[in-house]
Chains A and B, each alone.
Chain A
Amino acid sequence: MIIAFIQRAIIQGIPLLFGSTGEIITEKSGNLNLGIPGIMYVGGISGVIGAFLYEQSANGNINPFLAVIIPLLSSLVGSLVMGLIYCYLTVTLKANQNVTGLALTTFGVGFGNFFGGSLIKLIGSELPSIALTQTSNCFKATLPFASKLGWFGDLFLSYSFLAYLAIIIALVTAYFFKHTRKGLHLRAVGENPATADAAGISVTNYKYIATSIGSMIAGLGGLYYVMDYACGVWSNDGFGDRGWLAIALVIFAVWKPDLSIIGSFLFGGLFIIHNYIPNLKFEQQEFIKMLPYVVTIVVLIIISLRKKKETQPPTALGLSYFREER
């Protein structure tokens, strides 16, 4: 049962890992993107729209490669557009980041639920609900020998390619921040854009690129949720508060993508642990669901009490940069 629990925890954690890696990249550039929950919805529904249109046009003859690549691309495009809206408003038009982010979340969640609820009607199809089982099966393809390896296979090899992609992206990002010049520049932009600007780093470019890439990664979290966790069935508000949990995870991991891998599995575990404690009443379950948020608050307080330089949020987080204002 322990193996099953860890396995479920990891599956729960993967969307959070995508979201938090994306948000860490964004926040390192000094943009506090509170639109991540909306972006993850859009990433999910864009993938669904792409897959739905493909399944409709393919008439049952699904090419596994196309079935994966089309939703993947449409999801990336959807979340890229969201990221660009955010960048245009906050970087180019210097709008307030919190307000823009929340507006983006309102829009994104609305977009997801609207198309999730109305897609069938809009296309004029006669299906009762969106169930992309065939596409989902392509996404969920695992290594063929994984099931033969017992607990080792279950624990390490039983996931779909997106799950491994999430971990690879997080590791690459961690390396990028620590060991590359571009990563150093990006951190400089987030810490002190005026200094970075003086050193010849293009603040605007870094913010745009970091936020766009961050959004695309976060959007994949939505895609993973629909195609893998939910087996290709879109249900409105099914994604729930996971987007906010991803932002919580950024704090929990103190802005380090490699820590957020472990953090996401832990959060995933906290998210489902109530199913594994026997004889729990409904109200006690609800209390346990509070844990990830409480843990995040505690981490937030501890890092502000300790004031250690390595664990602080980027100094310019949440501030728009206007060159002539320094």
Chain B
Amino acid sequence: MMSKIKEPREPLFHIIKRNSIPIWKSSLIRGLSAIFALIICALVTFLLTGLNPLEVYSTMLEGALGSQRRIWALLQDMVMLLCISLAVTPAFKMKFWNIGAEGQALMGGLATASCMILFGDKMPAYLLFPLMIVTSIAAGILWALIPAFFKAYWNTNETLFTLMMNYVAIQIVTYFCYKWSNPKGSGQIGVINASSNAGWFPKLGGQAYLLNIIIVLILAAIMYVYLKYSKHGYEISVVGESQKTARYIGINVKKVIIRTMILSGALCGITGLLLVSGTDHTITRDTVEGRGFTAIMVAWLGQFNPIYMLLTSLLIVALQKGAIQISTNFGLNDSFSEIITGIIIFFIIGSEFFINYQVKFRNSENKEVKAK
């Protein structure tokens, strides 16, 4: 253990922060790391199942894209992950560590579900849908605003605060799952309005998920423009870079923090709406399926750029589906997909270092050697 940690006394290399890097170079580094990660994944799969690496990939591809139904499911999961990643992006860009997206989306979903349960039979669709949209967004905002308020005024640690809010939300949802459970006492709500389909998103062209996909893609485009070309987006990046600079040039930091978190919470609320009304038509404590946490990695790996984020979520979701296929074929546990996701993310996080920093070896610079 010790030998791994100790550093040589005369550094063999030193590290310099890069000011900028050409896009082709950064893409090359990311691409290479993704390929390395895929090789390691195949190796791990080979060791566990004995499947030869080429077959690993073909099984994975089959799992992700094997049939039309699978492609739709892939796209659906991709946009859900993308939507919640879009939600956390403005907050992260501001260096506000909102890891409570899980809870915020869950509250949005709970608001949607309660509208469907309470008013499903009593309201016409043209009233019910606006009500669902408004309440889900409001619930998401509420869950984001509480930590934002304390962060803005008293600098309360937002990472830990938002994290705890997740579990409060999960317990609230479980509470309502028991309260409204069907059959009584089972703790499961079951499909809401199964006969009347009240509050369900309409199927476009016979495809259940098409509307979700369109909505999220529009949101992604709006978020791209908002972050890149609007004054708000500029203020967010200044606050993220340095709060002192922001104050100096007259940006009201408190206002920006609260406004951005309202936006973040609202988008999480919409994710909840899409998950409940557009996908599951029910709610459980696992409705969000940990996407709130995966989204943080997606937003970070995608450099807060909605286009990269779309590609990242596609990669992650495709790998998960592929890994599930492998585990099904071999009678192994589904959690294999989480191991694969973890490995991929380790590699891509690691590769960021080579994009942001430059390693200079002692021998490559004679000056340094002489100086010693």
Complex Cα gap A32–B97 (Å)? 12
Q: A324: which B residues are within 8 A, CB to CB?
A: 15-17
Q: A282: which B residues are within 8 A, CB to CB?
A: 178, 185, 187
B70 to chain A, nearest CB (A): 22
**A174, CB-defined interface residue at 8 Å:** no
**B36, CB-defined interface residue at 8 Å:** no
Do B356 and A94 have beta carbons less than 8 Å apart? yes
Provide the B167-189 mask, 1 if CB < 8 A to any CB of A, else 0: 11001101110110000010100
Residue among A80, A85, A93, A301 making CB contact with B353, cutoff 8 Å: A93
**B71, CB-defined interface residue at 8 Å:** no
B324 to chain A, nearest CB (A): 12
**B27, CB-defined interface residue at 8 Å:** no
Do B345 and A103 have beta carbons less than 8 Å apart? yes
Complex Cα gap A37–B337 (Å)? 18
Main secondary structure of the interface of B (DSSP, over half): helix
**B31, CB-defined interface residue at 8 Å:** no
Residue of A92, A108, A110 with most chain B CB atoms under a 10 A cut-off: A110
Q: A313: which B residues are within 8 A, CB to CB?
A: 157
Cβ-Cβ contact count across A and B, 8 Å cutoff: 184
Do A304 and B339 have beta carbons less than 8 Å apart? no
B7 to chain A, nearest CB (A): 7
Do A300 and B157 have beta carbons less than 8 Å apart? yes
Do A102 and B293 have beta carbons less than 8 Å apart? yes
Do A297 and B168 have beta carbons less than 8 Å apart? yes
Q: B300: which A residues are within 8 A, CB to CB?
A: 96, 99
Known: A204-B7, A305-B154. A99 touches B171 (CB 8 A): no
**A196, CB-defined interface residue at 8 Å:** no
Do A109 and B338 have beta carbons less than 8 Å apart? yes
**A106, CB-defined interface residue at 8 Å:** yes
Complex Cα gap A94–B150 (Å)? 29
Residues 226-246 of A contacting B (Cβ, < 8 Å): 236, 241, 244
A197 to chain B, nearest CB (A): 13
Residue among A236, A287, A296 making CB contact with B175, cutoff 8 Å: A287
Instruction: Tell me how many residues of A have a C-beta within 8 Å of chain B.
Output: 67
Residues 75-117 of B contacting A (Cβ, < 8 Å): 97, 99
**A205, CB-defined interface residue at 8 Å:** yes
Residues 16-38 of B contacting A (Cβ, < 8 Å): 16-17
Do A281 and B150 have beta carbons less than 8 Å apart? no
Which B residues contact A (CB, under 8 angstroms)? 1, 4-7, 15-17, 48, 97, 99, 150, 154-157, 159-161, 163-165, 167-168, 171-172, 174-176, 178-179, 185, 187, 290, 293-294, 296-297, 300-301, 327, 330-339, 341-343, 345-346, 349-350, 352-353, 356-357
15 further interface pairs, Cβ-Cβ under 8 Å (given A102-B296, A287-B175, A318-B97): A94-B353, A94-B357, A99-B296, A100-B346, A103-B346, A109-B338, A111-B335, A114-B327, A114-B333, A114-B335, A114-B338, A251-B160, A293-B164, A293-B165, A297-B161
Report 19 cross-chain contacts, Cβ distance below 8 Å, ordered by A residue.
Answer: A85-B346, A92-B353, A93-B349, A95-B352, A98-B99, A99-B296, A106-B297, A109-B335, A110-B338, A110-B342, A117-B332, A118-B336, A204-B5, A212-B1, A236-B333, A289-B171, A301-B150, A301-B154, A313-B157
